[in-house]
Each structure stands twice: as structure tokens, then as C-alpha cells.
A = this chain, B = another copy of it.
Amino acid sequence: MGEFDLIDTFFTHRWPARDDVALGVGDDAAVLNVPSDSQLVIATDTMVSGVHFDEQTPARAVGHKIAAVNLSDLAAMGAEPTWLSLALTLPEVDEEWLTSFSHGLREICEYYDCQLIGGDTTKGPLTLTLTAHGLVPRGQVLRRDGAKPGDWVYVSGTLGDAGLALACQQHQQSISDSHYRRVLERLYFPSPRIALGQNLRDVASSAIDLSDGLYSDLGHILKSSQVGARIDVDELPLSLALTESVDADTAINFALTSGDDYELCFTVPESKRGVFDTVMARHPAKPTCIGRITNQPEKLRLEREGEPWQGLDKQHGYDHFG
């Protein structure tokens, strides 16, 4: 099977098609129509075999996740996802793997009405890069640099589940089968918080998606906004799978420092809290308030019952080459 057959077989037929795509797969480049009242939002993420996933990761999960991690970036900007470009480097044409991979990718494209508009397939060590494009109403994008002292700090979902799954895979933790299945689902099939991000456009003063762990990622908001934060570790949203599997301090460490959550962390000004609560009343999973922004630049203070919490492990979020 050649390169062009591969694209035809796995990435063309019966994939979602959007009206704003003037020209999709099959020319030198794709051509898109951007509405004049919108700004274009672009995110890129790579996943490397042996680094971001391994041989035991189902191909369908790889297909889901390469899209999900990029859509999560768009969610953090308040954007609506529209078009994806996929660069796929494969050691060989493994039709079984490609069938499952393309299935996982197509499912998430269908769910979020994204169109695969192009990319490249090359031979080499298994590596995937996806560039996700989205749209946001002009001037309404969520940024990292708008947090102000007094704003409330929120996170969506529960934290640390994917990190627990990874620790189990690496034999650093041992947990019950049912809990393992739950956290593995979080590791393999993260849900980008697209609807939440769009609902935050009018209310959040800053937002970021959690890919490297809350401690590290909230640090980016603090640095960009030149503010600090007080976080109450007892308020961190934890799943039963996490709290029933490890002791309290270990659970908090997973929530603070393990990556792959793909939840949103954002700040809401006091003046927008009423609007926020009203909007969130319609939202299935209400985000959790975990603390407040302070005026001490880049100072992240972890508290329990008002006192400093000293239980943080040395590992603070994932930094390639760090």
C-alpha cells in the first residue's frame, strides 16, 4: 500500500465534512473560509511512541488522544474547533493499527464536528503531530495573562487520575481492577473541555489547560499575569478511584504534579461570579473553586486549613529535556 492509497483508505471516506472547507485533502494545501467576525486559533502537539505512549496503548486511544490534547488547547482559548492537519510518521503500514488509530481519530472529529483537512505521511519512528485550528468570536479569546488579585481559581473535572494510571502502568502503584479501568480511561481517552471553554469567554479572566500538572500549569498563569495564588489542597477535586487507592497526601501530589489531566484551570473575577454560577448551572460538571489569586508575583502558596501545606514532592510537572 502506497502513501496515497493509505490516505484514501484510512483518512478520506466518510469523515466529517464542513461547509467552511473550500478545498480539503488532495491538493498541495487546504483552503478554508474564516468568518469575518472570528479570529483563528492554532495549536500544535506531538506524541512520540515510547515517550507519550507505548506499545500497550491501544491505537484507537492514540488516535483519540492526539486530537484531544490539541482540542484541549483550543478549549483553553475558548475556541470552537474546526480543522485538523495530521502528520503521521510510521515505521511501516500496519493496517490493523491504522484501522484502529483512524477510528479513534474519526470518532473525536465526528463528536466535535472537526474536519481533517490534510497533513503528511512519512516513514520513520512512530510519531504524530497534529495542528488543530479553531475559531473564536473576535476579541473574546481566553488568555493566560489576565488573572488579577482577588480572582477565584477554578479547575474542571477531577485531577490526577491519568497520572495514577501511568504510575500503575509503570508499577509504581498497585490499585483495584475497577479503579484501574476508570483511571486508564482518563489516561487514554481524555475529554477536551470545549463546551466549558466557550462558556467561559464572558466570565474568565484567564485560562489554561492542564497537560503538565496543575502546579506547573497554574504557574504559567501566575507568570503571564504577574500574580500569585493561594490554593487549598483540601479543595482539589479528586476521584474516588484516586482517594480510595492512595493516601491523602499522595492523592494531592497526583492532583498537583501529574500530567495528562486535560482539564481547564481558570480564574473568575468576583464581579463575574454571579454570571459564572448562572452559566455553570446548565453545565453537567460544575468546576471546583480551589483558591484565589494574590498580588505576589509567581508565588504559588499551597494551604491546608489556612496553614502552609508542605507535602509537595520534588517533581513539579513534566518538562521535556528538563
The answer on a CB contact under 8 Å between B129 and A120 is yes
Residues from chain B with Cβ under 8 Å of A43 in the complex: 28-30, 118
The answer on a CB contact under 8 Å between A322 and B3 is yes
Query: Is A109 an interface residue when CB atoms closer than 8 A count as contact?
Result: no
Residue of B nearest to A34 (CB): B34
The answer on a CB contact under 8 Å between A89 and B127 is yes
Query: How many of chain A's residues touch chain B, expressed as a range?
Result: 35 or more
**Provided the pairs A22-B39, A44-B85, A76-B29 are in contact, do residues A50 and B124 lie with their beta carbons within 8 angstroms?**
yes
C-alpha gap A1/B322 in the complex (Å) = 6
Q: Per-residue 0/1 for A174-218: is the Cβ within 8 Å of any B Cβ (1 yes, 0 no)?
A: 000000000000000000000000000000000111000000000
Query: Is A51 an interface residue when CB atoms closer than 8 A count as contact?
Result: yes
Q: Per-residue 0/1 for A39-64: is the Cβ within 8 Å of any B Cβ (1 yes, 0 no)?
A: 11111111111111000000000000
**Provided the pairs A1-B321, A3-B322, A129-B120 are in contact, do residues A42 and B27 lie with their beta carbons within 8 angstroms?**
no
Query: Is A93 an interface residue when CB atoms closer than 8 A count as contact?
Result: yes
The answer on a CB contact under 8 Å between A31 and B40 is yes
The answer on a CB contact under 8 Å between B28 and A87 is no
What are some 21 contacts across the A-B interface (CB < 8 A)?
Answer: A2-B322, A22-B141, A26-B224, A27-B144, A28-B43, A28-B73, A29-B43, A29-B132, A31-B136, A32-B41, A32-B42, A42-B83, A42-B118, A44-B85, A44-B87, A45-B87, A46-B120, A46-B129, A48-B89, A51-B122, A87-B87
* A residues adjacent to B (C-beta < 8 A): 1-4, 6, 22-23, 26-34, 36, 39-52, 73-74, 76-77, 79, 83, 85-87, 89-90, 92-93, 117-125, 127, 129, 131-134, 136, 141, 143-145, 207-209, 224, 319-322
